[in-house]
Structure 1
Amino acid sequence: MKTKFLTGLLVAMLAAPSGAAENSKIAVPSADDAPIAYMIDANSGQVLFAREADRRFMPASITKVMTTFLAFEWMEEGRVFSRQVYTMRPETFAKWSRVGSTMFLPRDARVTVDDLLHGVTAVSANDGAVVLAEGAAGTVDDWVAAMNAKAREIGMYDSNFGTPNGWMDEGRTFTSAHDLGVLARAMLLRHPSKYRHFIGAEGFEYNGIAQPNHDPISGKVPGADGIKTGFTNQAGYGFLGSAQRNGQRLVMVVAGSPTGRGRNAASRAFIEWGFKAFDSKRLFAKGQTVSTARVQGGSDSAVELTADGPLRVSIPRGTDPEITLAVRYEGPLQAPIQAGEPVAELVVSIEGMPDSRIPLKARNDVPKASALQRVGNGLLGLFT
């Protein structure tokens, strides 16, 4: 790959992929089976396909992905611990015992966060989601408020949550395919180890009762590992899924399907289409410096920028597009800066595709400059 900087832009010309196939011979699922369909490259955030991506719909049990993500965030913050034990409250048992999909928590059950999260992610446990919410936040209302605050924080602007489990609530809970893509990408990028531990299990056994996971792609499509199905009579059948092959991670949404069989077939066909229609190209290796950003008032005048992992993009198979990368930040950045702090973004522009944005983080600490360093930086500025 040949690269050079031009007025702040990093321009990369990529060679055409080998073994290319004609995109016209590959079809996406029909609108009958997948009225709402959306696919992104999880690494770059590129939109690879969108049908009714901003249309609001009731996610049903896909809501539990937001509950799972919030639990991951609180675990990272030290507010929730995997071995922590919560108790089923009598009123919670009376309301949620054997209601919809459950993990069959008994009255007065004492259950770990690890088991609750596996119950929520693998067998869509309505009771488990409520016990987790009450145990972690004190009340369901406080947990739901935190769900909505976290949704806004990560950029889910067409979503609202009224419950921790997606049970029917007169339309207070809604989302969009675009927002579910934002949620899945945040989960994958922020919590890869927790994702691997909790998402994509074939099933779950609790209290002597074994149940299978009804995920339509895991174990059936190479590289598939989750994420969550949903169904109500009002919402129809939906699925938020992901799969990874050869470093390329795709996230897909299918929603509004009239039948479970149609949803399942559409999901499998859709993820296969994504891998056949697009090749993945690595622009930067994990840990490689992408660019630098100017720093004011720091011990160094610049900070190196890097991405969380290998920086890859998807390009339509059989094409040779120009890829332009632009580093953007509000600068100069102000010291002090901590290593790992998000300080910039990489805007990926590929001919014929929507732009995408990848967060860039400081590779190293930049403390505030000492008095002597400030004098030196000032003198250096006179000659540069």
Structure 2
Amino acid sequence: MAMTQKRFPLFALFLCAMAMPTQAAMPVKAPPRPAVPAAAEAPVALLVDLSNGQVLHARNPDRRFMPASVTKVMTLYLAFELIEAGKLDPAQIMAMSPLIAREWRRKGSTMFLDAGEQVRVDDLLLGIANVSANDGAAVLAEGQAGSVAAWTAEMNATARRLGMAGSHFGTPNGWPDEGRTFTTAQDLVTLARAMLARHPDKFGYYIGRTGFDYKGITQINHDPMIGQVAGADGIKTGFTNESGFSYLGTAQRNGQRLALVLAGVENGRLRGRLARSYVEWGFTAFERQRLFDPGTVIGTARVQDGSALRVPLVARGAVSVNLLRGSDGPLRATIHYDGPLRAPLAQGEQVAVLEVTAPGMAPATIPLFTNEEIGAAGPLDRIINSIAGLFS
């Protein structure tokens, strides 16, 4: 089926959906544009509004790099998926096998596990998330999948399902492996978005703590934003001599969540400074403009062989975009979907996306869902639809 595109000036949507006066869409003289973010100094930098998919700034977002310990975000995500599926229990006990002890005991960042030591999955996840425990990631991998190789195979299968085409994982913890483990900033944002969308409670419980106390040993979380940036809640830092300093982080304010990636930074102090200034720039350099209230019908999509010819489309919640302060170009919106859609359709199916663009602004893409159920066409429906199709 062909990709259907419905194009219209955004002010027309305002008039239809929100009954705003025409002059509301007129350009308004704005203050000068804010400076380019300091994170532009990093070899790889990406800042995305997760609420609408809008890229606020990007530098080499598809360049492959070695993620070091940021790899552990995929290990955490896979564990969250397995818990949700009933295949892994946080109360489950695992032990450090002699094989894992020989390879990973006290190697790099650690939660100080010893050969034969029993540990709860709950503690492994806390250690991986907050003190980057290499030994914890290896124990979890072997304990759940039977071997580290089997676990990394599951990591790669999960990456493929998420559409992380620029990523491959050779270890559960990101230890240097001659370049077999690599990713991109775009893929890491995809992973962060999936983790927050599918496992918000697990994210809130395991990720973003200031530290971790295990076996009487207290270690701090080296995340550069936690406790220093309002609304910051993780996710993971990384460093090896080969890869430099990297970071995947997120912060939320007033219902808006930003995700950022930095990679190839020269030192940890610079990484922290860039991360903090980057996310602050994202929250302050843009004017957030609400386009549609929750529940507003944004458009319709054509339906084939259904009890109705069209189905109304809505977003999940309010629709907003970020306009760089000082920009004054016209906004335009396009609804994209593979159409006509085939009935039957359940209410709440994601069938389209709304793309909002403006000069100098990266597109914002918002998923759209069916607002009502459309059944398969009966004999009478087919006759009515055929007649209506002659005049549409």
* Bucket of the pairwise TM-score, normalised by the shorter protein: 0.7 to 0.9
- Give the partner amino acid of 2:326: G
Q: How many Å separate the matches in 2 of 1:200 and 1:136?
A: 24
1:10 Cα shift? 4.6
The 3-state SS of whatever aligns with 1:216 is coil
Q: Deviations over 1:66-102 (max 9, x none)?
A: 2222223333444334444434333223322221112
| Corresponding residue number in structure 2 for 1:163 | 171
| Corresponding residue number in structure 1 for 2:263 | 255
The 3-state SS of whatever aligns with 1:322 is coil
Q: How many Å separate the matches in 2 of 1:48 and 1:299?
A: 41
Q: Deviations over 1:353-375 (max 9, x none)?
A: 23243332334444434556555
Q: How many Å separate the matches in 1 of 2:25 and 2:391?
A: 41
1:18 Cα shift? 10
**Match runs of 1:208-227 below 5 Å:** 208-227=216-235
| Corresponding residue number in structure 1 for 2:38 | 28
Q: How many Å separate the matches in 1 of 2:73 and 2:253?
A: 22
| Corresponding residue number in structure 2 for 1:237 | 245
Q: How many Å separate the matches in 1 of 2:313 and 2:338?
A: 14
Does 2:369 match 1:361? yes
Q: Deviations over 1:295-314 (max 9, x none)?
A: 22334443333334432221
The structure-2 alpha-carbon separation of the partners of 1:352 and 1:94, relative to structure 1 and needing over 3 Å to count, comes to: same
Report the TM-score when normalising by structure 1.
0.87
| Corresponding residue number in structure 2 for 1:4 | none
**Match runs of 1:10-25 below 5 Å:** 10-13=8-11, 21-25=31-35
1:26 Cα shift? 6.1
Q: Deviations over 1:310-342 (max 9, x none)?
A: 322211023333222211111111223334433
1:237 Cα shift? 0.8
The answer as to whether partners of 2:337 and 2:351 remain within 8 angstroms in 1 is: yes
Report the TM-score when normalising by structure 2.
0.85
The answer as to whether partners of 1:248 and 1:280 remain within 8 angstroms in 2 is: no
1:38 Cα shift? 1.7
| Corresponding residue number in structure 1 for 2:324 | 316
Q: Deviations over 1:10-36 (max 9, x none)?
A: 5324769999653345642362xx232
Q: How many Å separate the matches in 2 of 1:82 and 1:188?
A: 19
| Corresponding residue number in structure 2 for 1:191 | 199
The answer as to whether partners of 2:93 and 2:118 remain within 8 angstroms in 1 is: yes
Q: How many Å separate the matches in 2 of 1:92 and 1:371?
A: 65
Q: How many Å separate the matches in 1 of 2:32 and 2:9?
A: 26
| Corresponding residue number in structure 1 for 2:67 | 59
Q: How many Å separate the matches in 1 of 2:38 and 2:131?
A: 28
1:376 Cα shift? 5.3
Does 2:173 match 1:175? no
1:211 Cα shift? 1.6
| Corresponding residue number in structure 2 for 1:44 | 52
- Give the partner amino acid of 1:28: A
Q: How many Å separate the matches in 1 of 2:262 and 2:374?
A: 44
The structure-2 alpha-carbon separation of the partners of 1:88 and 1:245, relative to structure 1 and needing over 3 Å to count, comes to: same
Q: Deviations over 1:93-136 (max 9, x none)?
A: 33222211122334334444333222211111112222222333
- Give the partner amino acid of 2:33: N
The structure-2 alpha-carbon separation of the partners of 1:264 and 1:109, relative to structure 1 and needing over 3 Å to count, comes to: same
Q: How many Å separate the matches in 2 of 1:329 and 1:269?
A: 37
1:163 Cα shift? 0.9
Q: How many Å separate the matches in 2 of 1:168 and 1:241?
A: 22
RMSD, aligned α-carbons: 2.8
1:184 Cα shift? 1.9
Q: Deviations over 1:48-81 (max 9, x none)?
A: 2122322221110001112222223333444334
The 3-state SS of whatever aligns with 2:47 is strand
Q: How many Å separate the matches in 2 of 1:379 and 1:193?
A: 51
1:380 Cα shift? 5.3
**Match runs of 1:1-384 below 5 Å:** 8-13=6-11, 21-25=31-35, 27-29=37-39, 31=41, 34-370=42-378, 373-374=381-382, 377-378=385-386, 381=389
Which region of structure 1 is more displaced relative to structure 2, 250-259 or 76-85?
76-85
The count of aligned residue pairs is 376
Q: How many Å separate the matches in 2 of 1:194 and 1:342?
A: 24
Identity of aligned residues (%): 52
Contiguous gaps of at least 5 residues in structure 2: 12-23
Rg larger in structure:
2
Contiguous gaps of at least 5 residues in structure 1: 1-6
Which region of structure 1 is more displaced relative to structure 2, 202-211 or 165-174?
202-211
The answer as to whether partners of 1:15 and 1:320 remain within 8 angstroms in 2 is: no
The answer as to whether partners of 2:324 and 2:361 remain within 8 angstroms in 1 is: no
The 3-state SS of whatever aligns with 2:236 is strand
The structure-2 alpha-carbon separation of the partners of 1:340 and 1:139, relative to structure 1 and needing over 3 Å to count, comes to: farther
The structure-2 alpha-carbon separation of the partners of 1:83 and 1:291, relative to structure 1 and needing over 3 Å to count, comes to: farther
The answer as to whether partners of 1:189 and 1:308 remain within 8 angstroms in 2 is: no
- Give the partner amino acid of 2:346: Q
